[in-house]
């Protein structure tokens, strides 16, 4: 059976390749999406790779995921440090969840050191650049195969 994964990307990630390349690299969001779609296809995973700058939209995506997806991978970006509402939505979602960040949030500004969502996900990948996205897909695949 094919697994379905929702990969949520939060605010400003649509500007990858344009913003702080020292933190996020030079790959564009569209190229990252293609790379992730290819990786998921090779694993027989159906991947929906989406982006929103709007907190409420992300919450709606998480709430609607329960009946549509086997797992969620999320880079909540700036909302990682501020959104109790996204954290609560993720806590309600009882299937596997992985947090991913391109940069190492723990080696950046002090306000980025606190992730409100880390305590409600299965695990996290931080600071490995865009390769962290493929690692998150692999890790999710493993989590889902353990539960079969």
Sheet holding 3-9, edge to edge: 45-51, 3-9, 71-75, 97-101, 123-126
Set out the domains of the chain in order of their start, with CATH numbers.
Answer: 3-146 (3.40.50.9100)
Please report, for residues 77, 93, 142, the alpha-carbon distance to residue 66 in angstroms, rounded to integers and kept in the order given. Answer: 22, 6, 19
Query: CA–CA distance from 39 to each of 25, 30, 123, 142 (Å)?
Result: 19, 14, 20, 14
Strand partners, 45: 3
Q: 18 pLDDT band (50/70/90 cuts)?
A: confident
Which residues, 6 or more positions from 81, have their beta carbon under 8 angstroms from its beta carbon?
A: 105, 111, 112, 114, 115, 116
Q: Of these residues, 51, 93, 101, 133, which one is catalytic? A: 101
The verdict on whether 24 is a catalytic residue reads yes
Instruction: Answer yes or no: is pLDDT of 113 > 80.
Output: no
Span 49-97, pLDDT tens digits: 999 999 999 999 999 999 999 999 999 999 999 999 999 999 999 999 9
Among candidate residues 24, 69, 93, 133, the one labeled active-site is 24
Judge whether 106 counts as a catalytic residue: no
The pLDDT score that the predictor gives to residue 27 is 74
What pTM was computed for the model?
A: 0.91
């Amino acid at each position: 059976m094919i697994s379905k994964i929702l990969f949520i990307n939060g605010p400003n990630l649509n500007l990858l390749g344009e913003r702080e390349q020292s933190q996020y690299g030079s790959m564009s969001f569209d190229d990252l999406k293609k790379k992730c779609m290819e990786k998921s296809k090779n694993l027989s995973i159906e991947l929906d790779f989406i982006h929103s700058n709007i907190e409420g939209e992300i919450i709606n995506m998480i709430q609607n995921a329960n009946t549509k997806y086997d797992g969620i991978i999320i880079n909540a970006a700036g909302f990682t440090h501020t959104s109790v509402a996204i954290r609560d939505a993720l806590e309600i979602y009882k299937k596997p969840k992985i947090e991913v960040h391109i940069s190492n949030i723990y080696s950046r500004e002090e306000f980025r050191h606190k992730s409100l969502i880390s305590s409600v996900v299965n695990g996290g990948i931080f600071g490995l650049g865009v390769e962290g996205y493929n690692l998150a897909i692999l890790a999710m695949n493993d989590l889902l195969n353990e539960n079969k």
